[in-house]
Structure 1
Amino acid sequence: MFKVQELREIIKLVDNSSIDEFVYENDGAKLKLKKNNGVISEVVLPKEATPVVQAPPVAAAVVTEPKTVEEVKVEEKTAPANVEDSTLHKITSPMVGTFYQAPSPDAPAYVSVGDKVSEESIVCIVEAMKLFNEIEAEIKGEIVEILVKDGQLVEYGQPLFLVKPE
C-alpha cells in the first residue's frame, strides 16, 4: 500500500508535469490522479485496501477506527489578496487531507483570529486517511487570518493561517 510520503511525492510530480492523468497500480492498490488547469482534482484508492500511513515528523498522530479512503476530491485554493504581505508568516498544510479547527465537533476551535500562539501551539488538525495530525504553529505571533474553512480539503503546502510574527 502507499505511504503518505510516496503519495505526496507522486502528487507533486504529477502537479509539476504537463500530464493530465496518471494511473499507478502496485500489489492490488490503484492510484489514479487527474488534474485540470494544474490542480489535482481526484485521488482514488481501492475500497478493499487498508492504507498504510506514516505520520510526518512534525505532527503528532491520533489513530481512530481504520477505514479506507475511496475518493478524495481536492478543491482549488483561492488565496485572499493579503496573502502576498511579506511580513506575515504562512502556516501551511504538511499533507493532503481534511482541515479541522477543533479536536471534536463539540469542542472550541484551537485558535481564532487575534489569538497569540507560540511555536508549540496546536492550531488545527489535518486528517489524512483516518489519521488525525495536530499541526503546530512553529512560530510565535498572532493569528491574523484563517485561510480555510472547517471540514475543507487542503493540499500539501496550502496556506492555512497567516501569522503576524512577534
Structure 2
Amino acid sequence: MLTVQEIRELIKVVDESAIDEFTYETSGETVTMKKSGSKAVAAVPDNGAHTDHPVDPVKNSQPNIQVEQTEVSSSDEKPIVETTADFDHEIVSPMVGTFYASPNPESDSYVTVGSKVEKDTVVCIVEAMKLFNEIEAETTGEITEILVEDGELVEYGQPLFRVKKK
C-alpha cells in the first residue's frame, strides 16, 4: 500500500514530467494519475475507515497540484461551490481524503459555526489511506461557515471552513 507521502511524490513526478497518464497497480489497489490541463489529477480508492486514533497532520503539501479522490471506477468530479459569506480566511484540505468533523463517531465536532479558534486549534480530521491527519486552523478567529459534511470526500486545496479573523 502506498503512503500519502509516496502518492505526493508520484504526483510531483508526474506533474513535472511529460507523462499525461500514469497507473500503478499492486495487491488489488490501483492509483491512476492523469494530467488535466497543466495539473496532475489522481484517483485512489477510499475504504471509508474512521477510527478514534488520529495521527499527526501531514503539513507539507505540493502547490499547483489539484488531486481528486474517487472510487477507481468513477470519474465524476465535484465542483467547489463558492459563496459570498463574510470571511477573511479559508481553511483548506492539505490532501485528498475523507473529512471527519469529530475524533470518533461518538464525540462532538471539533468546531461548529461560531467556534473561536486559535492557530493550533484542531478543526477536523482528514483521513487518507488509513492515516488520520488532524487539521489545524492556522489562524485566529471565528468559524463562520463549514463547507463540507462529515464523511465527505475532500480534494487537495478544497475549502473546508471559512474564518472571520480577529
Q: Which category describes the TM-score, using the shorter chain as reference length?
A: 0.5 to 0.7
Cα drift, residue 29 of structure 1: 7.1
Amino acid across the alignment from 2:3:
K
Q: TM-score with structure 2 length normalisation?
A: 0.67
Preserved CA contact (<8 Å) 2:30 2:44: no
Q: Secondary structure at the match of 2:31?
A: strand
Q: TM-score with structure 1 length normalisation?
A: 0.67
Runs of 4+ in 1 over 6 A off after TM superposition: 15-20, 26-29, 35-39
* Distance (Å, rounded) in 1 between the aligned partners of 2:149 and 2:35: 23
Alpha-carbon deviations, 1:69-114, whole Å to 9, x = none?
Answer: xx4668523222227x7x5111111111100011111211111111
Amino acid across the alignment from 2:162:
L
Q: Secondary structure at the match of 1:7?
A: helix
Relative to its length, the structure with more strand (as a share) is 1
Which position in structure 2 is the counterpart of 1:3? 3
Which position in structure 2 is the counterpart of 1:111? 111
Which position in structure 1 is the counterpart of 2:132? 132
CA separation of 1:19 and 1:123: change in aligned 2, threshold 3 A: same
Alpha-carbon deviations, 1:47-76, whole Å to 9, x = none?
Answer: xxxxxxx965549xxxxxxxxxxx466852
Q: Secondary structure at the match of 2:8?
A: helix
The 10-residue stretch of structure 1 (92-101 or 23-32) with the greater mean CA deviation from structure 2? 23-32
Which position in structure 1 is the counterpart of 2:80? 78
Preserved CA contact (<8 Å) 2:57 2:132: no
Cα drift, residue 43 of structure 1: 1.9
Amino acid across the alignment from 1:43:
V
Which position in structure 1 is the counterpart of 2:44? 43
Cα drift, residue 5 of structure 1: 2.4
CA separation of 1:114 and 1:91: change in aligned 2, threshold 3 A: same
CA separation of 1:22 and 1:4: change in aligned 2, threshold 3 A: same
* Unmatched 5+ stretches in structure 2: 47-54, 61-70
Amino acid across the alignment from 1:130:
K
Cα drift, residue 40 of structure 1: 3.8
Preserved CA contact (<8 Å) 2:56 2:134: no
Q: Secondary structure at the match of 2:81?
A: coil
Q: Secondary structure at the match of 1:103?
A: coil
* Unmatched 5+ stretches in structure 1: 46-53, 60-70
- Total equivalences in the alignment: 146
Preserved CA contact (<8 Å) 2:144 2:162: yes
Amino acid across the alignment from 1:94:
P
Which position in structure 2 is the counterpart of 1:49? none
1:141 aligns with 2:138: no
